[in-house]
Structure 1
């Protein structure tokens, strides 16, 4: 009789362990697919600065051509369709340089940009 109770307890304990492992696995898989757990995508700062620089060079007349170091954009901009922000392209001071503000809009969740 004691052997049967011991066997029953062992089976129950193993069953509970298997169920706990299944629940834990399901929870991890559920959370891994959740957007709240995945890191937020942000724009690549260097690529953004190059795109703004190319736009500013084609639309503005600077006394001295701007370089990538002359571009200033907000940091860590989340990739969200419709988000708008401004970048500054500034060269020198006074009459010896130039300054332009470039309005940037994120067109889609892939990070495609439009600039004005």
Structure 2
């Protein structure tokens, strides 16, 4: 009789352990797939600054070509198709011009493809 009780206790304990593991696995899978848990993708600031700089390098309003340090863009821009913002390029003017340019940036798709005007 004690062998049957011991077997029953072990079977119940094993079953509860399996159920607990399954519940933990399902909870982890739900949390991992939740958008609130996934980190939000943002634009790479250096790549954005280089793209903006390439867009204004040929601009005649600068006495000397601006550098990457002259580019100011908003920080931590989420990668969302259709999002628009502006970056500012402040360099050295030539006396007749300011050495200042605004570049309008639009995110074209969820991959972070940019359109610059």
Same fold (TM over 0.5): yes
- Aligned CA distance change for structure 1 residues 30 and 98 (closer, same or farther; 3 Å): same
* Distance of aligned partners of 1:14 and 1:60 in 2 relative to their CA distance in 1, 3 Å threshold: farther
TM-score calculated relative to the size of structure 2 = 0.88
For normalisation by structure 1, the TM-score amounts to 0.89
Q: How many residues align?
A: 116
State the Cα distance separating 1:85 from its structure 2 match. Answer: 0.9
Which runs of 4 or more aligned residues in structure 1 lie more than 4 Å from their structure 2 counterparts after TM superposition?
none
Provide the aligned C-alpha RMSD in A.
Answer: 1.8
Distance of aligned partners of 1:62 and 1:94 in 2 relative to their CA distance in 1, 3 Å threshold: closer
**Distance in 2 between the 1:94 and 1:61 partners?**
7
Q: What does residue 100 of structure 1 align with? A: 101
* Structure 1: gaps spanning 5 or more residues: none
**Match runs of 1:17-56 below 5 Å:** 17-56=17-56
**In structure 1, distance between residues paired with 2:61 and 2:98:** 9
**In structure 1, what is the Cα distance between the partners aligned to 2:109 and 2:60?**
26
- Structure having the higher helix fraction is 1
Which residue of structure 2 aligns with residue 6 of structure 1? 6
| SS state at 1:87 partner | strand
